[in-house]
């Protein structure tokens, strides 16, 4: 049976020189992870160029799908953040559509970019840094009120403030681990069951029965994995809106 973890190994595709920035050597080579992210971004652009090409009053299938995805995130930001959600729609939608395409793309290619913790952690850090920037821009030093909720007896602040700070700091980690774990685990399980199909296929009649069962499991898991690919992108967008809402409406915190 093939190694189910082999599909996650980083490999260089295009060798490029190493540059030094602030004393730190940075390898600019294009890996399969970088190529997968570039492809996902290209597919997103191509999809919306084609979907918006006609801009018909009665939309076709591609335009309907593009509008449905946009409307989904638009409704999400408005329902969670409120009227101010329009300001953050481009950011939230970009994250959602990139993660969605990267997840689904991984179902057809050998490599899935969102199965790499470095990729998902970078996305998580982008969210939290944006939240901090919005928090300071909108509230100034009142941003720190986020860690001291009102209406709490003052002695409890000695316990509550450290907990709130720790909770805020681990947000990018939880964002990263949730997406990384679901994509990694799903692809590993698919690879294992696909390996069973091949391994059991050459073991006679009983092996064929086992291979058929494993194959039906692969089909079911593939359908489930497509649903998980969408749900994880949606959850990432939901949590981004929730974190932005905390600083946009800090006065009600």
Given this model, what pLDDT does residue 38 score? 93
Distance, in Å, from the CA atom of 164 to the CA atom of 149, rounded to the nearest integer, reads 9
Q: What is the DSSP string of 108-134?
A: TSS--GGGSHHHHHHHHHHHHHHHHHH
**Cβ 105 vs Cβ 36: under 8 Å:** yes
Count of other CB atoms within 10 angstroms of residue 164: 15
Residue 39: alpha-carbon gap to chain centroid: 15
pLDDT in the model for residue 204: 64
CA angle 101, 184, 198 (to 5 degrees): 100
- The reported pTM is 0.89
Helix/strand/coil for 187: helix
pLDDT tens across the length of the chain (253 residues): 556 677 778 888 888 888 888 778 888 888 888 999 999 999 999 999 998 888 777 788 888 999 999 999 999 999 999 888 899 999 999 999 999 999 999 888 768 899 899 999 999 999 999 999 999 999 888 888 888 877 778 788 888 889 989 999 999 999 999 999 999 888 888 888 777 777 776 666 667 777 788 788 888 888 889 999 999 999 999 999 999 999 998 876 5
**pLDDT for the residue 73:** 95
């Amino acid at each position: 049976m093939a190694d189910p973890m082999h599909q996650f190994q980083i490999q260089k595709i295009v060798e490029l020189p190493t540059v030094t920035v602030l004393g730190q050597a940075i390898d600019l080579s294009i890996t399969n992870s970088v190529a997968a992210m570039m492809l996902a971004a290209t597919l997103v652009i191509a999809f919306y160029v084609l979907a918006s090409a006609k801009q018909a009053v009665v939309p076709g299938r591609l335009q309907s799908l593009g509008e449905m995805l946009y409307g989904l995130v638009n409704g999400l930001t408005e329902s969670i953040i409120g009227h101010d959600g329009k300001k953050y729609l481009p950011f939230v939608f970009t994250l959602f559509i990139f993660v969605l395409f990267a997840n689904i793309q991984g179902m057809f290619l050998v490599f899935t970019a969102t199965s790499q913790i470095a990729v998902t952690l970078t996305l998580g850090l982008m969210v939290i840094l944006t939240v901090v920037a919005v928090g300071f821009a909108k509230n100034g030093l009142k941003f720190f009120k986020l860690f001291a909720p009102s209406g709490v007896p003052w002695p409890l602040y000695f316990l509550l403030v450290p907990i709130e700070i720790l909770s805020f700091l681990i947000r990018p980690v939880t964002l990263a681990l949730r997406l990384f774990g679901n994509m990694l685990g799903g692809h590993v399980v698919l690879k294992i069951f696909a390996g069973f199909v091949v391994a059991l296929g050459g073991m006679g009649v009983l092996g064929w029965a086992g291979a058929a069962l494993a194959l039906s499991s692969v089909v079911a898991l593939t359908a489930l994995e497509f649903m998980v690919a969408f749900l994880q992108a949606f959850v990432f967008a939901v949590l981004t809106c929730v974190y932005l809402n905390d600083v946009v409406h800090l006065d009600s915190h």
